[in-house]
Structure 1
Amino acid sequence: MAESVVCFLFEQLSIWLQEQQKLIGGLRHDAEFIRGEMGQMRAFLRVADAKEESDLQLKEWVRQVREIAYDAEDVLEKYIFQFAHHHARGFRGSLKKMYTTIKNLNARDEITSEIQAIRSRVENASQSQQRYKDMYATMLPGSSSTRATANTWYDGRGDALLLEETEVVGIEKPKKQLIDWLSATDCGLKVISVVGMAGLGKTTLVKKVYDDPLVKVNFDHHVWVTVSESFRTEQLLHGIIMRLVEEVKQAPPQGLETMADVGMREFIYNFLQNNNYIIALDDVWSINAWEAIRYAFPRSSSRGCVIITTRSSDIANAACSESNCHKYPLQPLPAQESIVLFNRKAFPGSSCPLYLKEISESMLKRCKGWPLAIVLIGSLLATKNNRIEEWQTFNQSLCSELEEDNFKRMWKLLSLSYYDLPYYLKSCFLYLSIFPEDHMIEKATIIRLWIAEGFVEAKQGKTLEQIAEGYLNELSNRSLIQVAETTRDGRPRNFRIHDLLRKCIIAKSREQNMVFVNSQGDTRWPEKIRRLAIDSSINCAHQICCFENLRSLLLMRAVNSECASMPYQMLRSGCRLLKVLDMRKAPLDTIPDEVFRLYHLKYLSLRETKVQVVPKSIGNLKKLETLDLKGCWVTELPIEIIKLERLRILLVYRYYGGFNAYLQAEDVQSFKAPYKIGCLLSLQKLCFIDANETVVIREIGKLTQLQRLGITKLRRDHGKELCPSLANLTNLRSLNIHADVGEALDLQYAVSASASTFPFLRCLVLNGSLDTLPEWIPSLNALTMLRLSWSGLREDPLEFLQVLPNLLILGLDCAYEGEGLSIKAGGFQRLKRLNLMGLRRLGWVRVEEGSMPRLEELMVRDCKSMAELPADFRHLTNLRLVWFTDMGREFVEIVSEERRRQGDQWKLAHVATVRFLNTAAGVIRSRAVDENVDQRFSTSDVDYPDFIGR
């Protein structure tokens, strides 16, 4: 972590030295010296970060360097704040300038003194560094061992190899699947990767498979090798050779100890040629480990299997690039098996007493099926002799207990993944501690926060958002976070971090002075807090602190009365260096004046507050990149907003009535934009803007970086100006257009029907009457989601839409007035969900064989003229869910009779679930695979968040 802090300071100093050409006295010289020394420390800090756990003196040195970097950044930004001149004119302006000059001279002296003090600290740290460099010289870049590791303690990973079958829980299903793959008789090399987070039981599972008699008998040679995070190619190959020759009681090849890598690979290849073999590579940490040995295994003349365990999906995917391969993502234990494992550890030889059942369930809920946590917690509770008062105390203080010796194994096992992270991901990972327990981590939100914090390094050819999304994917691939929810087209939308892993990174984040998250039992806060996340579900009483170093202030839940005044106190206490201010759901009617004095502010969220007005002073926030007013009552922005030249995200809208089945024009509250909105050339997201004047529509065309655009209150006569403006927006990913009440959409003007017009557009929503379908829609090759509402089309739109090559979701809501729809053979080759709603005159749907081969969900709602099921549904073999909602009585009676009479020959007999819903009656009638059930209807069957966005 210290490395990432130092790297950030190094980059900031580089930029600052370029921009500030007229530094007084020796300030520039001192700044250059600090930059140079910090640059030299970066490489060694990569080693030191990993070794500090086993060397307390080194840990203290790393802490000092980290604090120097933080303090230097503080001074740098104080300088920028003090000398960010505001030009003033006239007599008053001259007096103000004179006063400011005198004041700035004093500030310059103070800052110069602080810089010189930091230089002295840097010199001392540089002298100390040499001692550690000598000690860990073999681990520096360029040495024979470049991979740092903190594994000088016993982590217990090897215990999994010694477990008896009776000690293992929940492996029957994955074990059977792996054995089935291994038992296949096809020749060639087969690679199986078992991937999952630390402590899920990957090694345990694969060892039981490896030792199974059914597997043993199928292979002539058996090798088990633990690779580990500190592997060396020659040691790995040497280990495989020794196990091969030992199994057949053969002497090692002559000269093995001095043999080159190529020679060892050749020996293994020849040894295994024309034989059946199984090689288990346990705990693979890098793609290099696989690439170093993959060609040592014969492919054509043998039947071989390599089975890998890893925490990284990237490694699993790389290993599974062979023609015959399988990937098994190991999942947490199901609830019942979690209970079995917990009871086995907490109550050895007996069962759970009734009086401890509720507490047991509470702790198991927090474990979320994580075997490592279940075993550690259960084993510790076994020492408490079933005393309920001790169990209750432990349950209430589980977070603090993680710091005790009993839980060091958990953190140390997880810390291997942390120390293996590249430096730029360590800050990002620890930053996730800001989110409360069980909180959904919205991809869009965390990306904006990381960018505002300065964690995302710019790369040529990519936006910061794309780079940050890559960071998220990398953390997910390393099994440190899990995808909790995806969009309908399969992209991650929300992530989740395991509660106990979160508690570990909270402790690490506090230790690194990265983020302070207020938690239960906090009686004393740190002297210096740089990032503060307030969980208002917890008592917010605290010792008075100095917040002048505060960079980020985040309210992570709806603010209770106890915490309501805290942000105001902090803002008034002089925290002028704030970059991030997230006050979502705070009890705010107006934006505090102090906010507009935050010169460094990059991220401001007032989401779901009662704020109605944005004052003109918003123009003071020159560095602002994200302004999130979603869910507020703001309906207009002042002209001063155009001063925010760095603004990338502008969200000012509100939904009424949630995600309604039928999206009305008045369901979205948008905002009136100033007529020069086109000055905000950095904008990437703009939602939702009133098309109140033609000049605003023209201005939209200047925003060529836009990726998401939402427009409301469009009139028919606006189309002539809008289409040329849209033609300029070649970076669009999402476009949402709503006509004004009683108006039609006229989008037939030239947007260019070429595929290059909107090459990246994935989501399109058109809400309003259309004379005909815009000619440019069928050319949208990247389109995955399309929703047409209240279009009133008279020609069958599916004839034109079914050629879209990547369309996954199609919704027609009151969009068609014809009597029939026809889907021809070859149409909608990737469509997964089709919604037909409010098509009152629709009598029939024809589905030809060869169309919609991937359709999974069909919803037909309020199509009262439909009298029978569409024909030829049998070929839709992937269809798993069908909804019929608010249909005519005749339709329900005919379909019910068909199902009764035809039985297994019914055209929807292959569909797992068919549901009939009458929203007025509030009852779902559902036919599942083997059952008929009635259940109360409690949630809307229509959900369009994919079309709405974040």
Structure 2
Amino acid sequence: MVITFQSILSQVKKDECDSTSSSDKELLISELRDFLKDKRYFIVIDDIWSTQAWNTIKFALFDNAYGSRIIVTTRICTVAKSCSSPHLDLVYELPMLSEDDSKMLFFRRTFGSEDKCPRQAILTMASLLTTKSYSRVDWEKIWHVEEMNMILSLSYNHLPRHLRTCLLYLSMFSEGYVIKRDYLVRRWVAEGFISAHGGRKLEDEGESYFNELINRSLIQPVDYQYDGRVHSCRVHDMILDFITCKAVQENFVSIITERKQMWASQEKVHRLSLDHHGQEVVASYSMLTTHVRSLNIFRYSEKMRPLSDFRALRVLDLDGNENLDSCYLEYVGKLFQLSVRLPEGIGNMQALEFLSLIVVDYTTSVTMLQELGSLTKLRTLGLDWRIGTQHRDKNLYTDKFVLLLGKLGTSNLQYLTLISPWSLDFLLDSWSPAPHLLQQLETKGWNLSKIPTWMASLSNLTYLDIEVKVTQETLQILGDFPSLLFLKLHSNIAGPRESCIVSGSRFQCLKKFNIFGWTNLMFEEGAMPMLDTLEFQIIVHETQNSSRIGHPDCGIHYLSALRKLIVNIHCQGARIEEVEALEAAIRIGASMLPNHPKPDLHRFQVAEMVMDDGEREKEGHEEDKRQVPTPAWFFFNSSGSGHGEETTLSPCLDLLHGG
């Protein structure tokens, strides 16, 4: 701070400056205030790191009535807000450069201009690098990174200790890896990095750490979820290189892949990240397993060291490895330091909070279901129910299942996913008492005939994704959920279709609404006042024939907060002019909204429209233009690491499931 005040005094006083050699901060502040108190000034303070520093500087700059102005730059959002007026939002957040501007800046800073860029030299250098071994030393011989490392070191050294630890932990992930927020926070909790105060939950505290790293631009947001929170992130390659080197130097993480092998000590490796490509990788860490507490395996190899070698293991992440041999997991039950999923004896893990995608089938014992019910600290449960109607002990299993859900529901259960290819209608009225703390519920495969009685009493539910026959009664029940923010409905039941009205008194908090299936909706004035995103279907000929023709846009113009609109238009039995008229009405209705969302309209069953030969030929040409060519090959990602915001299954800290 002394240097800062000396610099300000030397610039504002110029020739009058006679005392800036003083190193007494109090004297410098007093002199600066005396000089500025009757002057109009304009001062720019670059790169402030803390609110405490800003408060000191603000005191030193005399607040007179002469229209003086101060501009402050900072990399930290919270500091920027503290510098701004509490009554006015004066923070300007610099947007990311476009690709063209980035190229222009690169050429200007590196070569002076694009014309001076030695393209051939760069190509030659690139060819040279392809023949070199992949090591940091080879790169640093050719290109100096000291300046960038100095900037990153400054950011890193200004972090509080707890944020440094959480940032270093991200070196466990590979370049470009998309990391879900909840998954990362639970990893931090499992490692013991999070300390909650004042009765605050560890996950809430961990999310504040996550947000602080984003505010400091040390991790980049990738997706946002329905409530505006960041859903997933990634680490920029330059920052990842920096924290990886730091983590290895401090023996915080050891990383072994086909391309690099980085560890500080073979004596005590505590966190190990593996990406198996071949046997040479397996052989290289044969001496590193004894003290490993946290193990990441991004790709499984049959030659991999057995889990029995990792006797101190507390956190195991197999990252969606679907090719794991079942025999590899046999030893999991003997890893007493690890919170894991299943085998017999799971009831002894009384501290367990997360279980993801537990399969219950004919190999599962009834005893295990009973033991699950004793895990009273369990907050997240994902269960795949595969007990079919022909199972000889079906009634016994269903009774135990209802009993365990009842026990968990009265404890701490907050996030539940139920998957089943068979009906779970035995749960419609039998879950009692209701899970009063439940916040997120997702069902897959189970098509409900109605909203269960217990579901209608979930006052804390914010996220609901279910398959159900959508009727007017369904919308009335769901519309009264007091906390619901996200709703996805799948209504694929055949039979007579009912047109439903969303009234102005329903869904007062809802922000995102997706409905798939054969149901026409009409929105009344005041409906869904907080709705940000809407995706729904319109069956054209039914809309045209209904008595609701007075609202040709289906009432979309009433959705005052809408920002994103997706409409799937089913054209079967309708004429082309009816389809076009509906699309025009939707566009007009959307244009009347405050946020002017641009509708994303999709036609289905175009070939089944009612049209004459001329119309059919014309529409056929238009449809051809809209078709996307079928690719010659496809790539499938089997790691289970998709990052769509509707996904609610959170990886557990027992057997962590995918990033």
TM-score by length of 2: 0.75
Cα pair distance change 1:615/1:311, threshold 3 Å: closer
Q: How far, CA to CA, are the matches of 2:395 and 2:204 in structure 1?
A: 31
Structure 2 spans left out of the alignment, 5+ residues: 389-393, 545-551, 608-623, 637-642, 652-659
Q: How far, CA to CA, are the matches of 2:191 and 2:357 in structure 1?
A: 22
Q: How far, CA to CA, are the matches of 1:793 and 1:837 in structure 2?
A: 10
- Alignment correspondent of 1:784: 462
Q: Any idea what SS the aligned residue of 2:272 has? A: strand
Over the matched positions of the two proteins, sequence identity in percent amounts to 23
- Alignment correspondent of 1:934: 626
- Alignment correspondent of 2:382: 687
For residues 560-608 of structure 1, give each alpha carbon's deviation from its aligned partner in whole angstroms, at most 9, with x where no partner exists: 3x24x7447746x57322212233441459x97x423533211123332
User: Deviation of residue 323 (structure 1)?
Assistant: 0.6
Q: How far, CA to CA, are the matches of 2:272 and 2:148 in structure 1?
A: 30
CA contact (8 A) 1:430 1:505 kept: yes
The equivalent position to 1:851 in structure 2, one of 512, 527, 532, is 527
- Alignment correspondent of 2:125: 390
Query: Are 2:604 and 1:918 aligned?
Result: yes
User: Deviation of residue 436 (structure 1)?
Assistant: 1.7
User: Which amino acid in structure 1 is aligned with residue 356 of structure 2?
Assistant: L
Q: How far, CA to CA, are the matches of 2:290 and 2:469 in structure 1?
A: 55
Q: How far, CA to CA, are the matches of 1:243 and 1:831 in structure 2?
A: 55
For residues 178-203 of structure 1, give each alpha carbon's deviation from its aligned partner in whole angstroms, at most 9, with x where no partner exists: xxxxxxxxxxxxxxxxxxxxxxxxxx
Q: How far, CA to CA, are the matches of 2:28 and 2:187 in structure 1?
A: 46
The equivalent position to 1:549 in structure 2, one of 268, 275, 278, is 268
Q: Any idea what SS the aligned residue of 2:489 has? A: strand
User: Deviation of residue 519 (structure 1)?
Assistant: 6.7
- Alignment correspondent of 2:391: none
Query: Are 2:72 and 1:308 aligned?
Result: yes
- Alignment correspondent of 1:761: 439
User: Deviation of residue 282 (structure 1)?
Assistant: 1.2
Cα pair distance change 1:943/1:498, threshold 3 Å: closer
Q: How far, CA to CA, are the matches of 2:585 and 2:469 in structure 1?
A: 37
Cα pair distance change 1:736/1:260, threshold 3 Å: same
Q: Any idea what SS the aligned residue of 2:106 has? A: helix
Q: How far, CA to CA, are the matches of 1:850 and 1:600 in structure 2?
A: 58
For residues 739-767 of structure 1, give each alpha carbon's deviation from its aligned partner in whole angstroms, at most 9, with x where no partner exists: 661442544468578xxx63561455486
User: Deviation of residue 552 (structure 1)?
Assistant: 2.9
- Alignment correspondent of 1:512: 250
Q: Any idea what SS the aligned residue of 1:676 has? A: helix
- Alignment correspondent of 1:271: 38
Q: How far, CA to CA, are the matches of 1:714 and 1:835 in structure 2?
A: 36
The equivalent position to 1:836 in structure 2, one of 505, 515, 527, is 515
For residues 463-504 of structure 1, give each alpha carbon's deviation from its aligned partner in whole angstroms, at most 9, with x where no partner exists: 544443333222222221112223232233322111122222
TM-score by length of 1: 0.54
Cα pair distance change 1:877/1:354, threshold 3 Å: farther
The equivalent position to 2:316 in structure 1, one of 590, 599, 604, is 604
User: Deviation of residue 460 (structure 1)?
Assistant: 6.2
Q: Any idea what SS the aligned residue of 2:355 has? A: strand
Q: How far, CA to CA, are the matches of 1:646 and 1:484 in structure 2?
A: 32
The equivalent position to 2:451 in structure 1, one of 752, 761, 773, is 773
- Alignment correspondent of 1:45: none
Cα pair distance change 1:391/1:256, threshold 3 Å: closer
Q: How far, CA to CA, are the matches of 1:336 and 1:237 in structure 2?
A: 39
1:421-820 aligned at under 5 Å gives the runs: 421-457=159-195, 459=197, 461-518=199-256, 528-529=265-266, 549-556=268-275, 559-560=276-277, 562-563=278-279, 566-567=281-282, 570=285, 573=287, 575-587=289-301, 594-596=306-308, 598-606=310-318, 607-610=320-323, 611-612=325-326, 617-627=331-341, 637-653=342-358, 673-688=368-383, 690=385, 721=403, 724-729=406-411, 731-738=412-419, 741-744=422-425, 746-748=427-429, 758-759=436-437, 761-765=439-443, 768-770=446-448, 772-775=450-453, 777=455, 780-789=458-467, 791-792=468-469, 794-814=471-491, 819-820=498-499
CA contact (8 A) 1:450 1:456 kept: yes
Cα pair distance change 1:895/1:596, threshold 3 Å: farther
Q: Any idea what SS the aligned residue of 2:570 has? A: coil
User: Deviation of residue 805 (structure 1)?
Assistant: 4.8
Q: How far, CA to CA, are the matches of 2:122 and 2:4 in structure 1?
A: 49
The alignment of Structure 1 onto Structure 2 pairs a total of residues equal to 600
Q: How far, CA to CA, are the matches of 2:580 and 2:160 in structure 1?
A: 63
The equivalent position to 1:326 in structure 2, one of 71, 85, 90, is 90
1:252-401 aligned at under 5 Å gives the runs: 267=34, 270-271=37-38, 278-294=42-58, 303=67, 305-320=69-84, 322-348=86-112, 351=115, 356=120, 386=121, 388-393=123-128, 399-400=136-137
Give 1 or 2: higher helix fraction.
1
For residues 47-84 of structure 1, give each alpha carbon's deviation from its aligned partner in whole angstroms, at most 9, with x where no partner exists: xxxxxxxxxxxxxxxxxxxxxxxxxxxxxxxxxxxxxx
- Alignment correspondent of 1:946: 647
Larger Rg, first or second structure (1 or 2)? 1
CA contact (8 A) 1:796 1:820 kept: no
User: Which amino acid in structure 1 is aligned with residue 601 of structure 2?
Assistant: R
Cα pair distance change 1:877/1:764, threshold 3 Å: same
- Alignment correspondent of 2:613: none
User: Which amino acid in structure 2 is aligned with residue 390 of structure 1?
Assistant: M
For residues 104-147 of structure 1, give each alpha carbon's deviation from its aligned partner in whole angstroms, at most 9, with x where no partner exists: xxxxxxxxxxxxxxxxxxxxxxxxxxxxxxxxxxxxxxxxxxxx
Q: How far, CA to CA, are the matches of 1:264 and 1:752 in structure 2?
A: 70
User: Deviation of residue 549 (structure 1)?
Assistant: 2.7
Q: How far, CA to CA, are the matches of 2:282 and 2:433 in structure 1?
A: 51
User: Deviation of residue 457 (structure 1)?
Assistant: 4.5
User: Which amino acid in structure 2 is aligned with residue 641 of structure 1?
Assistant: I
User: Deviation of residue 454 (structure 1)?
Assistant: 4.5
User: Deviation of residue 690 (structure 1)?
Assistant: 4.1
Cα pair distance change 1:282/1:252, threshold 3 Å: same
Cα pair distance change 1:737/1:433, threshold 3 Å: closer
Cα pair distance change 1:583/1:943, threshold 3 Å: closer
Q: How far, CA to CA, are the matches of 1:862 and 1:588 in structure 2?
A: 52
Cα pair distance change 1:644/1:721, threshold 3 Å: closer
Q: Which has the higher contact order (CA 8 A, sep 6+)?
A: 2
Q: How far, CA to CA, are the matches of 1:387 and 1:858 in structure 2?
A: 48
Q: Any idea what SS the aligned residue of 1:282 has? A: strand
Q: How far, CA to CA, are the matches of 2:521 and 2:490 in structure 1?
A: 16
Q: Any idea what SS the aligned residue of 1:429 has? A: helix
Query: Are 2:566 and 1:883 aligned?
Result: yes
- Alignment correspondent of 1:60: none
CA contact (8 A) 1:838 1:861 kept: yes
Q: How far, CA to CA, are the matches of 2:469 and 2:233 in structure 1?
A: 39
Q: How far, CA to CA, are the matches of 1:819 and 1:720 in structure 2?
A: 33
